[in-house]
Each structure stands twice: as C-alpha cells, then as structure tokens.
Structure 1
Amino acid sequence: MTKTWFIGLAIALACAQTHAQLRIGQPSGFSGSVAAGVKENTDGAKLYFDAVNARGGVNGQPIELISVDDKFDPKLTVELGRELITKRGVLALFLNRGTPHAQALMPLLAEHKVPLVAPSTGAMVLHEPVNPWIFNVRATYQREAARAIEHLASIGQNRIAILETDDSFGADGAAGAMQGFAKVKLEPVLRQKTPREKPDFSAVAAEIAKLQAQAVMVIASAGNTANAVHALRAAGSRAQVVTLSNNASEGFIKLLGEHARGVIVTQVFPNERSVSFPLIKEAQDLAKAKGLDGVSPAMMEGFAAAKVLTEGLRRAGPNPTPQKLRDALEGLSRYDLGGLTVSYSATNHTGLDFADLSIVDANGRFRR
C-alpha cells in the first residue's frame, strides 16, 4: 500500500511539473485608466487559449495564463514580473500594457533570460534596436500616428493640435505624428504635454478652441483621452479627435459617452467584423460558441498575440524552456495567422506592420 501510494504521488508530481511548464505571466493594468482595454486584450487571449486547451493543449500540456494587476504602475510591473518569473516559474511574460512598463521590464528579461511576447504597446523602443527577448505582434505607434496625420491633411484639416502624455509613450507617439507633419509639410498649431496622472484638460481645451484647431490628436490612456474629449466639447471645440490603437476598445467608447461619435481611432488589426480574414472568422466563431456577440479590436490584439505565443510553444517542443521558446519564436518565418503573416529574425522582432483607421459611428461601434 505504501509503495503504491508513493508511486501514485510521484506520477502526480510529475504531471503537475509538466503542466507548470506552460505557465505564462501577465502583469498588466487591470485597474486604473487602462483597465477596459486590458480586460478586452485578455479576454481575446483567453478565447484562443481556452480553445487550444479544449483540444488537449500544446504537446499535450495546457496553457495557464497567470494575470496580475500592476495598477498601471511601472514599478509594480517589475515587482510582479520578477515574482512571476522567480516564484511562479513562467515561461514568458505576455501582453502587458504600457510603454514605460515594458521598458521597465527590459533589465528583468535580460537578467533571467525570459521572453516578453506581444507587449500591448507600439513603442518604437521595443522594435529598434532589436531586443533579443521582446517579440512584438503589432505595428508601431509612430506608424499609426504618421498615417493619421497624413489622413487629416488629405481631407483638408491643416490646423492640428497634439496633446501628448508626459512619458515615453506620449513622446513616442508624438514623434510619429511629427513624421506625418513633415511628410505633408505642416506644423502643429499646438503641441502640449499633459500629466500622466489625473490631468486637468480645461485650460488647454480652451486654448485649442481659441486657436480654432480643426483636429486634435490625443496620445494618452483611454481614461485620460476620454477626459480630454469631454473638456474639448465643454470648451466649445468641435475639432476632430484622433487617438491611437491603445484606445481601440469598446470600454473606451463607453468612457466617451455622448461624445463618442466621430472620434477616429487608429487600428493595428483588420476590421473585427471582416470575416474574409480567416483570423477574424476564427475569433468570431469561437466568441459565438461562448455566447458572445463578437469581438472588439482590443480582443483581436489579444487573440492574435495568443496565437503567436501558442505557435512558439508548439515549436519549442514537449519540454520548453524560456530559451527554447525565445529561439522558436525567432525562427518563425511567414507564419500565417489567418490572412496576416508574422515573421521574426535575429534583426527584426516587429512581427506585424498592419495599420488602419476607424471611426466611431452613431451606434457606438468602430467603422472602417
């Protein structure tokens, strides 16, 4: 009896250790000004992971996503990231939100040789120079911002203001906007930095109204961007508002309330209702099977990220390590996500370069 009990215990422990190999850590802002988008990102990732696990997992092992709230604080991101790596034994960090947050994780990734897959930020610093431990699954903010400025100029909106969060995210997006301005030979009528925490937009909104700006690009979190829009409308400005894909969530539209209609949001994935893309159809079908109405752009970011990570895990073999996963991801070449192709190499960790524009319609939905 005793021998049988020990054999059973050994088998159980072996199984537990094998399953633990596919732990993935996600320190991200589940509370605070980015919570709505983070939740939708995560819902999209879980949609794919759940489907994979229902089919037996990867190489017979389930994927366990461990999500923890960093309260959108870069210092806490690092603390939680370290705990996930050293105490929870995660193979990778995944889908964290925020440019300063991803930058803060860089030394940790190098120290422990653990990859960060699909950070939910388009900061150029994560793309160039190539970081051997970071694998992006989305276009850069600079590409989005430049395209948006070029679009505004093409429809005759030449008096454009920029409101940028006073951090590395804001500076990065504004750099892209300035590239767009240079291409169309314009200058912003106003470029203003705003605090990252609890900014008061009333004064700058009044100035924008006085300048009769035709459009305003707001580079900020969902909560702060929504507050900026409310302040602009209260100041009497009817300027076209444009923001970046970090705000491509249904939660952001809800924060805008009565001022949602007409806001332009850049996108880094195809139309979430365009089932001509196999990737979109796959996500839509899985969502409907769970009783959901559909998927949002933010959910598609998480879904695509999960698909790339899963393929990396599959190629890393039955006994993956962080190093094996890193090497497997870097070996991905022309991997078909479903109408979009992902490629990595030693000199390129961007993955995807898709960028588009959407506008919020009268029904509170993104339209292309």
Structure 2
Amino acid sequence: MVAQLACPRRVSAAPKPRVALTLPMEGVQSEVARDLLTGYQLAFDRAEDEYDFRLRVLVEEDRSNPALTARNIEAFAKDRTILASTGIVGTPHAEACLPIAEEAGLPIIGIRSGAETLRKASTTVFHLRASYEAEITRMLEMVRGAGLSRVSVLYSDDSFGQAALHHLEREAVRLQLAIHRSVAADRNGGDVRERTATLLATPGAHGLILLMITRPMLSALEFARNEHSFLGPIFAMSFVANRQVGSSPMKVATGLGMVSAFPLPRVAREALAADFRQLAMGRDGLAESLTAFEGFFYGSTIASALFLSKAQSREDLLSWLERRPLNVGGLGVLFDEKRVGFRHLQVVYKSNDGTLRI
C-alpha cells in the first residue's frame, strides 16, 4: 500500500480550480510554447464543453530563462488558490524550480523534460513522458537496426545535453556503435552553424544525432544537408516535433527520425487523439504537432484528475493522484514510485510528403 503523502497545510480551493502555467512565449522556445499552450487550452475547453467543468488558468512568461521559471513557480507556490502547475519547458528550468514546488507542496503535473535526474522520490512532481535515457536507447536501437555503425553527435551545451551524451556513449558501447565525433553547441543556437561545421569537418559518420531544441536543431540539419551535402540519416529528440517540424515543407527534413514520447495524433486510434484531431481541424498544421498533443494530454490529465478527485486542496489532489489510475481518452496513466505515469515510445520520421509517419 502506498503511504500517504506529507504536505503543508490544507489549501482551500476557489469555486473553480485554479491551474498555473509557466511558458517561454518569447525567445528561442516560443514555437514550442505556443503549441503547448494551444494544446492545454483545447484540453481545458474540452473539459468545460463535455463535463461542464471549468478551470481558471493563469499563464506567466519565463522567456526560456530558468531564473524566471523559478520565480514564477515561487509565486504560484505562495498563491494558495492555485492547486496545480504545469508547462515547465526544459531540463535547466525544471532543475531551477522543482525544489521550490517540492518544499511548498505545489503539485506539478507534466514537465517537458525527460531527464532522469528530475525523477527522484518526489511527493509533488508527476511525470507524463518516458525518460530521455529510454528515448535515446530506443533511438540507438533504431540507428543500429538501420545498419549504421558509426555516428556523430551535436549536443546542447547544458545539463540536458551533457547527461544525454553520457547516456548515449554508454549505450553505444552496449550496442556496438561507434561515436565518430561529438561536439557541443550553445543551447539557443548562437554558434550552431560553426559547431556543425566542426562536427562534419572529419568525414566518416554514417549518421548524425542532434541533441538540440527545435530551432538550433533545424539550423544544424539545414546546414549539414545544404552546406556539407551530408546525405546520411539524421535523428533528433521527441521534443522537437512541434508544428515547426511537423508541418515544415523543408525538403532537407525528409527522413528525419525521432522517437516520439506520445502517440502520433494524426493516426493514433485512442479517443484522445481523435478528439485532438477534431479540435485541431482548420488550425494551420496543428494536427501534425506532437508538442500540441503533448499539451493536450497534460491538460486533459490535469482536468480529469481535478474533476474526478473533486479536490478542494493541494493535499486532496496529491493524495488522489498517488493511488488512482486514470483513463485519459484511452491512454492509461498510473504513477509509480518515481511519480512517472506514462512511458510511451514510438519511432516516427519525416516523410517525402512533409508529414510525420510511423
């Protein structure tokens, strides 16, 4: 039997539950933030239409700055009418703010990071995606299955990139893959073209792995294809699959492989994906965005938990989440001892017609 969670003093809820998001609506992650927020909004609107259950939502800007993310979470934690928070984008941002949420007893449901370092025994942080380590292992299995034996790696020069490279190197040994060369680049892409040139200066790699966020990843991909005529397969992380990539007409992106942490909404059979497709209809490229579907899944999980638990306090919500399975439109969510409730992985690629396919 799971032990009851220890939490700070009870919090009386407002008549409509209040949820707070911190998102980088400006800067290098703005495309990601827009898609995520659209997904959340669709989920919350759907809850109101279908269940007559309305959430009050607060969205604060963090400009992809970990210090601002932490400041926002601190403000949310102090506002005792806020029952849960979500929307944190990136490993450095989560590292900066999760200790604050933990100390205050603020539930965080859904983080856009799969870093294993964030999955410690927490009483308030609930994860809804497979770990980056699991994703990278699956990616390397895909690389090996494609008959490649030697790859080069461009990685983000931050805590995410360094941890991802370390795991990739360890798994490459196990799978008998050679790392031809690895080069770090600025997280936000300031030097990505120069660093890609450095990476490709020594030929010999059969494939290229880009452990970067969307905008610099696309710059590196375009530079590799157009400036260096790199013809080998290129692989990226699941978190780049927003509308910018999913609906991009860029021919250089054809064949880009990813391991998705969520079902591909355009073809998935679960009811949640069908609802998302219907709600995304007529919105330019939205149905192709795994990032928007991620926000829709997180928002639907939060709305379902608050509706079913009838939580009047953070304590109520935390206690309910730790022991109740959720059926979120056909996707099962059950949090384990690390508070990880969903571990989907699926290989997708950018096809000749510009769509993402399985």
Pick from 229, 232, 239: which aligns with 2:224? 232
TM-score where L is the length of structure 1 = 0.86
Structure-2 change in CA distance of 1:268 and 1:293 (3 Å)? closer
| Cα deviation, residue 321, structure 1 | 1.5
What secondary structure is seen at the aligned counterpart in 2 of 1:27?
strand
1 or 2, which has the higher helix percentage? 1
Based on CA coordinates, which of the two structures has the bigger radius of gyration?
1
Superposed CA deviations along residues 10-32 of structure 1, whole A, max 9, x for unmatched, are xxxxxxx9656511111121122
SS at match of 1:354: coil
SS at match of 1:286: helix
Asked if structure 2 preserves the Cα contact closer than 8 Å seen for 1:141 and 1:176, the reply is no
Change (3 A) 1:136 1:265: same
Please name the residue that 2:104 is paired with.
112
Q: TM-score, normalised by structure 2?
A: 0.88
CA deviation vs aligned residue, 1:197-250 (integer Å, no higher than 9, x gap) = 312332543542532311111111111111111221212322321111110112
Give how far 1:339 is off.
Answer: 3.5
Mapping 1:275-286, distance limit 5 Å:
275-286=268-279
Aligned AA (2:89): R
- Following TM superposition, by how much is the alpha carbon of 1:105 offset from its aligned partner in structure 2, in angstroms? 0.8
Alpha-carbon distance change, 21 to 85 in structure 1, aligned in 2, over 3 angstroms: farther
**Runs of at least 5 residues in structure 2 that lack an aligned partner in the other structure:** 1-11
**Cα distance in structure 2, aligned partners of 1:20 and 1:162:** 51
Which position in structure 2 is the counterpart of 1:302?
A: 295
Letter in 1 for 2:30: A
- Secondary structure of the equivalent of 1:189? strand
**Structure 2 contact 243–286 (Cα < 8 Å) conserved:** no
Stretch moving more, 266-275 or 286-295: 286-295
Whether 1:159 and 2:150 are equivalent positions in the alignment is: yes
AA paired with 1:306? G
Gaps of 5+ in 1: 1-16
Structure 1 residue aligned with 2:256: 263
Q: Which residue of 2 aligns with 1:182?
A: 173
Cα pair 2:286 2:292 within 8 Å, conserved: no
1:365 maps onto 2:358 in alignment: no
Q: Alpha-carbon deviation of 1:294?
A: 3.3
Distance verdict in 2 for CA 1:103–1:21, change over 3 Å: farther
Please tell me the residue identity of whatever aligns with 2:36: N
- Pairing 1:342–2:341 present: no
Q: Percent identity?
A: 21
- Runs of at least 4 residues of structure 1 off by over 4 A? 17-21, 253-256, 289-293
Displacement, 1:107? 2.0
After superposition, where does 1:132-143 map in structure 2 within 5 Å?
132-143=123-134
Q: CA deviation at 1:56?
A: 5.2
Amino acid at match of 1:135: F
Q: Which of 43, 46, 66 does residue 74 from structure 1 map onto? A: 66
Question: How far is the alpha carbon of 1:98 from its aligned partner?
Answer: 0.6
Query: Which amino acid in structure 1 is aligned with residue 270 of structure 2?
Result: F
Cross-structure match for 1:5: none
Residues 1:57 and 1:182: Cα distance change in structure 2 (over 3 Å): farther
